[in-house]
Amino acid sequence: MKIAVTRRIPDAGLEVLKAWGGAKDIAVHETDEGIERGALLRLVEGADAILSTVTEKMDAEAMHAAGPQLKIIANMAVGYDNISLADAAERKILVTNTPGVLTEATADLAWTLILGASRRAGEAERCLRAGQWKGWGPRQFLGVDLHKKALGLFGLGRIGRAVARRALGFEMSVLYHDVHRLSAEEEKALNARWAGKEELVSASDILSLHCPLTPETRHAFTLNEFSKMKKTAVIVNSARGPVIREADLCQALDEGMIFAAGLDVFEEEPVVNPRLFHHERAFLLPHIGSATMETRDTMARMAAQNITAALSGGTPANLIPLPL
């Protein structure tokens, strides 16, 4: 059986695959860079299983290139918007993800964005590294406080709740908008209450995005939302880039509609709107939400275990429901 691995993943995942079936049937794209489309289609040819990441589009073309024997696409991510579930369902291909294991690491990264953007850390570090710092000044790099402010969360799944837990240490109140409401007990534990999107936008001092990318959430934040935010507000995105219309965010920053933005994901990854690079109030990171050694090892291991379960005739632990 052939197993195609579309990126160079941590050894922890490869070791699971090798222990199950040996190394000879594992085909790995052996670079840290993304695989080009043509190379991807050649890599997956004849594969019984594909271990993919969020950077590879798994659509009808890729599934057809693999062939009718393809049994499973195991995404090494919690999100799976790179996979066409309809095409997988049509071909009876299992699809899995790696939920839960990256919750804490991604929540930590969201707080990195919150702190970095609100305290202008990127701007200050660039000044220091460039040799431009002339010493302490009373009006230098003034940011905004977080203590006892209002944290808004657009999406309150596992990661959103983990971000809310961390807010308790800052004595922040939490507003959240999600299709599912917490119980009264859960809301009390997080010092949180549900709010409509309009209230969330206008009342939040920090607005952190934690929703999946769906047709409904694509471009959920545009000039319409930015114009209603506080001028001292900070927006951060560690979910999916297209939730924000980047051109509108650039305009909002240019015109002072909001104080700052922190981004770990981008609308057209790996391309970043060049206007963001020139805006000092944009705190930017290259999609490292789950990038800790422990988390990535666990993600790779889980994706590999999903594959071995499927190829052994069992049911993988992290099946994604497919459309009927």
What per-residue confidence (pLDDT) applies to 125?
97
Contact 234, 260 (CB under 8 A): yes
Question: What Cα–Cα distance (Å) separates residue 44 from each residue in 21, 22, 96, 165, 298?
Answer: 18, 18, 17, 41, 24
CA angle 18, 20, 23 (to 5 degrees): 25
- Domain pair 3-100+292-311 / 103-284, same fold: yes
Residues of the chain with pLDDT under 70: none
Q: Which residues are catalytic?
A: 240, 269, 287
Q: Which residues pair with 58 in a beta bridge?
A: 83
* 3-class secondary structure, 273: coil
Q: pLDDT tens, 177-197? A: 999 999 999 999 999 999 999
What per-residue confidence (pLDDT) applies to 31?
86
Task: Please state the length of the chain.
Answer: 324
Q: What is the pTM of this model?
A: 0.91
| DSSP label at residue 100 | S
* 3-class secondary structure, 84: coil
What per-residue confidence (pLDDT) applies to 324?
84
Domain ranges of the chain: 3-100+292-311, 103-284
Reported CATH class of domain 3-100+292-311: alpha beta
What per-residue confidence (pLDDT) applies to 99?
94
Q: pLDDT tens, 84-125? A: 999 999 999 999 999 999 999 999 999 999 999 999 999 999
Q: Which residues pair with 194 in a beta bridge?
A: 176
Contact 312, 306 (CB under 8 A): no
Say which amino acid occupies 49: A
The CATH number of the structural domain formed by 103-284 is 3.40.50.720
